[in-house]
Amino acid sequence: MIAPIFSVCAASPDVISLLGSSPTRLYPFGMQDDAVIYPYAVWQNIGGGPENYLNQRPDADTFTLQVDVYADSPDEVVSVAQALRDAIETRANITRWGNQEQDAETKRYRYSFDVDWTVTR
């Protein structure tokens, strides 16, 4: 009941080149540790549900995910967002390009987007 965002993105050489491996710095929201290494990305479910039918159990689940990328520079945050986009679009649909901003406290950059993902059971 979780979209396969990590496995899809971790299979991309472009994502790995930017977010590393062992670990790949793509975390479920709130799971990154306090020793932050930039760039990194987080994702979370913001909606979804099973494909319900009257005469049978659901055969698919849909998810709406929010992805947030954090980096040291505007160019780096866009590069990571593009690599994630290219990996994700092979399996799901980007539905929103969100905020691009600089955090007032950390001075790091953030890029946000949403993904709709359907997973067959």
The 3-state DSSP composition of the chain as helix, strand, coil percent (nearest 5) reads 25, 40, 35
pLDDT at 24 over 80: yes
- For the stretch 49-78, pLDDT in tens is 999 999 999 999 999 999 999 999 999 999
Q: Which domain holds residue 98?
A: 5-51+59-120
- Average pLDDT score over residue span 26-43: 89
- Average pLDDT score over residue span 114-118: 98
Contacts of residue 93, defined as CB under 8 A and 6 or more positions apart, other chains included, come to 115, 116, 117
CATH number at residue 76: 3.30.2000.30
Contacts of residue 28, defined as CB under 8 A and 6 or more positions apart, other chains included, come to 42, 43, 44
Beta bridge partner(s), residue 50: 61
User: Please, what is the average pLDDT of the chain?
Assistant: 95
Quote the number of domains for the chain.
1
Q: How confident is the model at residue 1 (pLDDT cuts 50, 70, 90)?
A: confident
